Amino acid sequence: MMDVRRLVLLRDLAEYQTVTAVADVHHVTASAVSQQLRALEAEVGKPLLLREGRTVRLTSAGRALARRCEDVLAALERASAEVNELAGTIDGELAVGCFTSGFPAVAMPMAETLLARHPQLRFRFQEAEPEETIPLLRQRRLDLVVAYRYQHLGTELPPGLVSLPVCDDPFLICVPERLRHVVEAEGLAALREQPWVTFPVGSCREANVHAARTAGFTPEQAHLTASIPVALDMVAAGLGVTMMPAMAARNAPPGVALLPTDGLHRKIEVVVRAGTERQPLINAALEALATP
């Protein structure tokens, strides 16, 4: 019988390519990962890795087994859900990951609804971008993630996860009030000569650049900040212009005009591991998210 935890290590090796990277993901030593993979080979009775000096590659058997790992994990999740459904109770702890601007709009209303229905529940929240919370969900360190995806960027979920839509979050053009009328008249192209406030990394920055180039220009990225409030303060002070999702701009200061874009938005969704949708606690959270 194969050990499921060792299967997960093999799956992660197929994704991250090196034993060191897998060890970092699981917060263990590289030697511990290597030992568990050798034990998995002994359980399977076939070589799963080709060791070449300090590097390893999966054999055809290793790749085949890694591909089946998500099926095994989903089946175990479904079996666990069926057992928990028989108990007929909703209790325990729900570990939730959520991006910053999703807390007031999505995560907190969900928590309030759940606590009103099931006051015995406990929560553990982690604030981080989907790039961080999605891997934690796959590693079973989170139970549910409130995430977003920009459809025009073509981002796909990793294997073994399923998503349910929550809402669309439209992108807004954020400009000083003095520029409101010109943007209303000419659209985003009116900002081709303006300095832009952009973000150092991430999909919001990519969305800004993509939207500007679609409008026919490359934005002058004059200011870089990782803080949404700082970006909005810069716009209010007349230092530049930017774009951001409506959820992020909900507390824009006076002096900032928020104007709609032409169809640009991000998809807000809740992501769980395949097979966990019927877990009583997770199902209750999904029902709370669906509550108007």
Query: In terms of pLDDT, which residue wins out, 214 or 146?
Result: 146
Task: Flag whether pLDDT at 192 surpasses 90.
Answer: yes
The per-residue pLDDT for 38 is 87
The per-residue pLDDT for 81 is 61
| Rounded percentage of the chain residues whose pLDDT exceeds 70 | 94
Per DSSP, the residues of 43-100 read HHTS--EEEETTEEEE-HHHHHHHHHHHHHHHHHHHHHHHHHHHHT---SEEEEEE-T
Cβ partners under 8 Å of residue 289, min gap 6: 106, 110, 164, 166, 270
Mean pLDDT lowest among 84-88, 150-154, 242-246? 84-88
pLDDT tier for residue 85 given thresholds of 50, 70 and 90? low
pLDDT tier for residue 232 given thresholds of 50, 70 and 90? very high
The per-residue pLDDT for 177 is 97
d(CA 89, CA 87): 6
Token pair, residue 124, equals 């553990």
Task: Flag whether pLDDT at 213 surpasses 70.
Answer: yes
Q: Which residue segments constitute the domains of the chain, with CATH numbers given?
A: 4-85 (1.10.10.10), 94-166+268-290 (3.40.190.10), 169-265 (3.40.190.10)
> Mind listing the pLDDT tens digit for each residue in 36-68?
888 888 888 888 888 877 778 888 888 888 888
Q: How far apart are the first and last CA of the chain?
A: 46
Query: In terms of pLDDT, which residue wins out, 191 or 290?
Result: 191
CA distances in angstroms from 289 to 78, 108, 275, listed in the order given = 21, 10, 18
**Taking the C-alpha atoms of 204, 206, 209 and 215 in order, what is their torsion angle to the nearest 10 degrees?**
-90
> Mind listing the pLDDT tens digit for each residue in 233-275?
999 999 999 999 999 999 999 999 999 988 788 999 999 998 8
Q: Average model confidence (pLDDT) for the chain?
A: 88
Task: Flag whether pLDDT at 224 surpasses 80.
Answer: yes
- pTM of the full structure: 0.76
pLDDT tier for residue 196 given thresholds of 50, 70 and 90? very high
Strand partners, 127: 98
For residue 163, which of 140, 139, 130 has the smallest C-alpha distance?
Answer: 130
d(CA 96, CA 274): 16
Query: In terms of pLDDT, which residue wins out, 251 or 290?
Result: 251
Task: Flag whether pLDDT at 92 surpasses 90.
Answer: no
pLDDT tier for residue 28 given thresholds of 50, 70 and 90? confident
